[in-house]
Chain A
Amino acid sequence: MKVLVLNSGSSSVKYQLIETSFEQIEADADRTIARGAVERIGTSSAVHTYRPEGCEKTSTVKEILEHSVAIAEIIQTLTRPGTGVIGDASEIEAVGHRVVHGGEKFTQSELCSPEVMREIEDCCELAPLHNPHNLRGIHAARQILPDVPHAAVFDTSYHQTMPPVAYLYGLPYVLYTRHAIRRYGFHGTSHRFVGWRSRKLLGRPREETRLITCHLGNGASMCAIDHGRSVDTSMGFTPLEGLLMGTRSGDLDPAVVFHVMHKEELTEYQATTMLNKHSGLFGVSGVSNDMLELEKAEAQGHERARLAIDIFCYRVRKYAGAYAAAMGGVDAIVFTGGIGENSPTVRARAMEGLEFMGVALDPARNEAAVKGREADISTTDAKVRTLVIPTNEELIIARDTLRLMKGKLQPVG
């Protein structure tokens, strides 16, 4: 069965067409047929990049003012004779949508019933920068493909298994009951996917595996997974908490915000933008938010680039230690995301000093693990395995969509 997976942002729609079935899932043989993105929606020069699997990427520029037009354009491209990958839009049997925030309501993926749509709307308050755009994408896609089921897969739902000790802040409790102020965590689909792959790779049952997954990209978060369930994660009420990120500060004494606002005479908006877009690797280094560029700058002796990478790695190490303590031990630490999958330096530096826990990296294996291949990069006798697993959130979205359609949604993991 072919599932169209859509990720709608404020001015973009990213997509993959995925072929999946229960047999293919069993054999781990479901695959992406084509992928692409429409960016700069709302302008006369929107860019549509499209790549059928095994072919060259093409990109076209044209006026696309709305998400619905973007999705119509995507379907046209997928069905275009010659370059398309399907004969007719009717071959798309379902659509899976990424939705950032599911609040406390959604503990798993759901079909988009009117009730579910209302509840996603209710979560807009928690994620004003994301959910409205996700919703707009769902509405537009349903207009264009009205006869197939649409499913919503949430970034937060995987972390709904966290216990109160992990998700509550030390704030007046009334804020939790009144405004749902608590830690939600994000990247759930990614943590869930690499957790599942890791257990397969290690050949261990879910009940006997404690994992620490590190999704390190421009946004970065870590997750403690016990019995296949998320028991803690580093992002909180918003994706701003936790690790140092490309342009986000991560953990911070909240008093700093008020102090800086006062000293620099900042508005609330400026302070928010500072924390989200001017901080992190970029803010510390003053060079870039891109790890590859930072590594180059560091090699040329750039002091603050080194400092930025050091802080980044230190925080990963600190959280790894914390999560091992939270679970009473750890069986494997897993790296994924753009940086996690491609930077041997970051992996090595982040794991430095964790030998006492049983972590030991094999330098050659670590160096060799790049470019989207799964690998065990630990020494043969390491007590704790260190893995690199390329993430695939779209695949999880496609699989959940299939399972929901056939009424066979399994518990997470």
Chain B
Amino acid sequence: MEFRKLGIVGGGTMGKSLAEKVASNGINVVLVEISPEKAEQARAELTASLDRELEKWGITASEKKVVLSRVRFVADMYADAHCRAELAGCDMVIETVQEDLEAKKKAMRRLGEVCPPDRVFITNTSILSITEIAAASGRPDRVLGMHFMRPVTRTPVVEVIRGVETSDETFETALALARALEKTPVTVFEYPGYITTRVLLPMLNEAMYVVMEGVASAKDVDLAMRLAYEFRTGPLEYADRVGLDKVMGWMEHLFRELGDIKYRPCPLLHKLVRAGHLGRKTGRGFFVYEDQQRVDAPAEEVAL
């Protein structure tokens, strides 16, 4: 299957990263936001991301121009007829709205109304039930989950998750998309956390316990794990980058769904989230950040 135009609903970090990758691979993108202001902001942030890539020699100035020209930023799919028409013209739509079951169901419902009945919808989720989200679309056989990992431009793998109703044809379409984006697909049957999130979270959580129990400093935990296992980023900085509120949300979800004590969120994680130290985006989590870059602040600065 050839993809000429893909819809992406939601211009958050994942939506933008996905748009950058899709457009870089020669496919046009309609990026749907909830307001013209948000759409403009998404454009500015995508431009900034391309500028960073240019600065690191990953693309050329003319490639940056080409990628930007392939993305159309529009708003919003509820009120604006032009936006709906753009979406209806897409070969496939990927929703990347916030990781919240109700929000995702709402988006799916709307897509079901707006797009021709033969279009496939992808929900990008790392943890939620595909079957539940798919039901809202009115075409559950044409919906499946794809868990892309950030930054989408670099991570070479994608989890492809079939819901209960997902048809073989829809599954094949998703594999074709993975190929078009040069990603290795890994098939997963629906189960909370799939592979990557489920294996990763207990490790992040355990690293937090090590800090909480005073066994080692956050800095040393990350240093040891990074050097020992050749991780690009240590577990605590990784959690900071994802956002501690998000990590906690995932843990609570797994804990609720699976009921196993091993998914209980570390109390230190609770404490930091309550204090508003959500990681890199707020400038502070397990580490301190300035301009999105980690700065080596004294260990005691971290609220214990």
Q: Which residues on A are within 8 Å of B, measured CB to CB? A: 42, 65, 264, 266-267, 269-271, 273-274, 277-278
B176, chain A: closest CB distance, angstroms = 16
**Contacts A270-B56, A274-B58 given; 9 further ones with Cβ under 8 A?**
A42-B26, A266-B57, A267-B154, A269-B58, A273-B60, A274-B57, A277-B57, A277-B60, A278-B60
Contact across chains for B58 and A273 when beta carbons are under 8 A apart: yes
- Which residues in window 6-56 of B have CB below 8 A to A? 26, 53, 56
A269 to B58, CA, bound (A): 7
Task: Tell me which residues across on chain B come within 8 A of A65, comparing CB atoms.
Answer: 2, 4
Identify the 9 closest CB pairs spanning chains A and B, nearest first.
A274-B57, A270-B58, A278-B57, A270-B56, A277-B60, A273-B58, A270-B57, A273-B57, A42-B26
A273 to B58, CA, bound (A): 6
B258 contacts partner chain A, Cβ-Cβ < 8 Å: no
Contact across chains for B58 and A267 when beta carbons are under 8 A apart: yes
B59 contacts partner chain A, Cβ-Cβ < 8 Å: yes
Q: How many residues of B contact A (CB 8 A)?
A: 10
Q: Which residues on B are within 8 Å of A, measured CB to CB? A: 2, 4, 26, 53, 56-60, 154
Contact across chains for A273 and B59 when beta carbons are under 8 A apart: yes
Task: Tell me which residues across on chain B come within 8 A of A270, comparing CB atoms.
Answer: 53, 56-58
A259, chain B: closest CB distance, angstroms = 15
Tell which of A42, A266, A277 touches B56, judged by Cβ atoms closer than 8 Å: A266
A32, chain B: closest CB distance, angstroms = 30
Main secondary structure of the interface of B (DSSP, over half): loop
Task: Tell me which residues across on chain A come within 8 A of B154, comparing CB atoms.
Answer: 267, 269
A273 to B154, CA, bound (A): 14
21 intermolecular pairs with C-beta atoms under 8 Å apart = A65-B2, A65-B4, A264-B56, A266-B56, A266-B57, A267-B58, A269-B154, A270-B53, A270-B56, A270-B57, A270-B58, A271-B57, A273-B58, A273-B59, A273-B60, A274-B57, A274-B58, A277-B57, A277-B60, A278-B57, A278-B60
A268, chain B: closest CB distance, angstroms = 10
Task: Tell me which residues across on chain A come within 8 A of B4, comparing CB atoms.
Answer: 65
A270 to B55, CA, bound (A): 10
A269 to B182, CA, bound (A): 13
B21, chain A: closest CB distance, angstroms = 12
A273 to B59, CA, bound (A): 7
Across the interface, name the chain B residue whose C-beta is closest to A260: B57
Across the interface, name the chain A residue whose C-beta is closest to B57: A274
A36 to B154, CA, bound (A): 37
Across the interface, name the chain B residue whose C-beta is closest to A270: B58
Task: Tell me which residues across on chain B come within 8 A of A277, comparing CB atoms.
Answer: 57, 60
A137, chain B: closest CB distance, angstroms = 17
A386, chain B: closest CB distance, angstroms = 35
Counting chain A CB atoms within 10 Å of each CB, which of B58, B60, B154 scores highest? B58
Task: Tell me which residues across on chain A come within 8 A of B60, comparing CB atoms.
Answer: 273, 277-278
Across the interface, name the chain A residue whose C-beta is closest to B27: A42
A266 to B60, CA, bound (A): 15
A274 to B54, CA, bound (A): 10
Task: Tell me which residues across on chain B come within 8 A of A271, comparing CB atoms.
Answer: 57
